[in-house]
Amino acid sequence: MQGLKGGLLLISIAALLSFSVVTFAHPAGETHYHDFVIEAKPVKRLCRTHNIITVNGKFPGPTLNVRNGDTLVIKATNRARYNVTLHWHGIRQLGTPWADGPEYVTQCPIQPGATYTYRFTIINQEGTLWWHAHSKWLRATVYGALVIRPKVGSPYPFPQPTREVPIVLGEWWNRDIISILRQTIFTGAAPNVSDAYTINGQPGDLYPCSSKGTFKIHVNSGETVLLRVINAALNQQLFFTVANHQLTVVAADAVYHKQFATRVIMVGPGQTTDVLLTANQPPARYYMAARAYATAQNAPFDNTTTTAILEYNTATGGSSASRPLLPQLPAFNDTNTATVFENQLRSIPSVESKVPLKIDHSLFFTVGLGFVNCNPGPRCQGPNNTRFAASMNNVSFVLPRRASLLQAYYNNIPGIFTTDFPPVPPVQFNYTGNVPRALWQPRFGTKLYKLKFGETVQIVLQDTGIFSTEDHPIHLHGYHFYVVAQGFGNFNPQTDPQRFNLFDPPSRNTIDVPVGGWAVIRFVADNPGVWLFHCHIDAHLAWGLGMAFLVENGIGEYETVTPPPADLPRC
């Protein structure tokens, strides 16, 4: 079995000083060296102080600034008490799947006291991405922005902004996030909702004890600012807007899109959206604000609002002390606003990126929650004395523990996974209607779907209503894909393909499958490796809402990858 064995030269790395950043130039771009120290740090929010896991003592963690074509070498040292991995969300990892980061998929976790070095090159990508922990629920506090600018001499395909500001949306809990995870796993019930949302780590002055730290942007009248909006929230889609200001969308998920104006954007967990804001309002102070877009029926959610402040430098009089103007946000369940926003996203067609027209694998995946029947007791605190579960095509994904999926494939280790993930649901039913009780409980397994290099794939992602229909943000590691159609109800294979947009569909790495609806995505399997495909609501992933693609070698530019790094963590 040849697996992924191939021959790219490993880069030797000089010893680095702690917390240092070193950059070297080479013909293909620059190489950036970073030290990431993962450690606990006491942080005060909402009048309370407790330890959270951070990178280099920062919350959010460091922003990585690179250009298209640059290489990143990041030495991750784990000084926390939990196992950890890091994922570079949206980076395609062409030829470098060992650097992708999801625990037990491409690597075993970095254990406390251990170190692992991630090495990868940015290949034909520009825009806003982000990095985060991909182990347990440490993503709640271990995350940061990853900004990819064009190569030197290449302009943006939109007016040059005066400044660029990452806006990282997150969630905050007053309790240790791992203790909440353990309680959730033990009881089988839904997790506690967050105590606050945050903008760049700060809840904002609508929360107690939060006014002093509220994030602010100071602007001059007439200037244009590029806001790089990232949803790093663990479990929640979010609306975002700025009082009295129009936003011009120019990119999403590090792909330039056709520009359009909007007052509000909806960003699912894992997604990014780049918007231009022109400071053309009367000089004053204005709130930027975000709050939940919540779609599951009768499910609790954090209904608070996080804010930051946009302040004009020319504001006069007592305006610097006055309360900013609060924008009007959509209702929590305003699916119409979310749909109108997403339907406006259109890619910029180019020679390099074309929608695949001939499809080799036509797949249909149901996505949603379910239940595991069990005897009443402390471990069965879900609805009607059950335990929550989640699945794709009725398979609840189970991560291995003896080896990562990529290691098992590369080294031909038996008994870790099978390659019989069903291409269609085992049983057809009224997916968004009343689902028979016999279909509530999924089967558990570590099943992969095998693809050959260069094959084309179409996936219909169908929401289900077993517990409740719900908007699910589905992320594909190692790839971007085209969203050729979305709709509500059950996908109709006879009529809905007539609505497919094969000219300028949006290109994304994370798609919000509409509540009670479906989405169709297409991509070319041009990146060998084992790639996780999962809901980016971490509670859903913990319950099994995911699977993985095994893309085998073929003939092409990225058909081979380096062998496992020498410092690859062991299970």
CA distances from 214 to 165, 208, 304, 540 (A): 15, 11, 15, 31
> Across the chain, how many H-helices and E-strands are there?
4, 33
**DSSP state string for 511-562:** EEEPTTEEEEEEEE--S-EEEEEEESSHHHHHTT-EEEEEEE--SSTTS-BP
How far apart CA 292 and CA 237 sit, in angstroms, is 6
Give CA 248 to chain center in angstroms.
22
The single-letter DSSP state of residue 110 is B
Contact 290, 239 (CB under 8 A): yes
Residue with token string 């971490």: 538
Q: Amino acid identity of 294?
A: A
How far apart CA 27 and CA 47 sit, in angstroms, is 51
Going by DSSP bridges, is the β-strand pair 481-488/517-524 parallel, antiparallel, or unpaired?
antiparallel
How far apart CA 377 and CA 186 sit, in angstroms, is 11
CA nearest neighbour of 423 among 545, 239, 547, 523:
547
Q: What is the pLDDT of residue 353?
A: 67
Contact 4, 97 (CB under 8 A): yes
Main-chain phi, psi angles of 98, to 5 degrees? -65, -15
Can you give the pLDDT of all 571 residues of the chain as single tens digits? 344 433 322 222 222 223 334 444 444 799 999 999 999 999 999 999 999 999 999 999 999 999 999 999 999 999 999 999 999 999 999 999 999 999 999 999 999 999 999 999 999 999 999 999 999 999 999 999 999 999 999 999 999 999 999 999 999 999 999 999 999 999 999 999 999 999 999 999 999 999 999 999 999 999 999 999 999 999 999 999 999 999 999 999 999 999 999 999 999 999 999 999 999 999 999 999 999 999 999 899 999 999 999 999 987 544 456 789 999 999 999 999 999 999 999 999 875 568 999 999 999 999 999 999 999 999 999 999 999 999 999 999 999 999 999 999 999 999 999 999 999 999 999 999 988 888 899 999 999 999 999 999 999 999 999 999 999 999 999 999 999 999 999 999 999 999 999 999 999 999 999 999 999 999 999 999 999 999 999 999 999 999 999 999 875 655 565 789 999 999 9
The dihedral sign for the CA sequence 310, 313, 314, 320 = positive
How far apart CA 226 and CA 215 sit, in angstroms, is 16
CA nearest neighbour of 42 among 176, 199, 212, 169:
176
Q: Other C-beta atoms within 10 Å of 74: how many?
A: 21
Q: Is 309 left (phi over 0), alpha (psi -120 to 50) or beta?
A: beta
Exposure string of 412-448, with b = 16+ CB inside 10 Å and e = fewer, is: eeeebbeeebbeebeeebebbeebeeebbbbeebbbb
**DSSP state string for 33-62:** EEEEEEEEEEEEETTEEEEEEEETTBSS-P
How far apart CA 413 and CA 426 sit, in angstroms, is 28
Question: 194 Cβ partners below 8 Å, 6+ apart?
Answer: 171, 172, 173, 233, 234, 235, 236, 302
Contact 490, 461 (CB under 8 A): no
Contact 539, 235 (CB under 8 A): yes
How far apart CA 398 and CA 371 sit, in angstroms, is 15
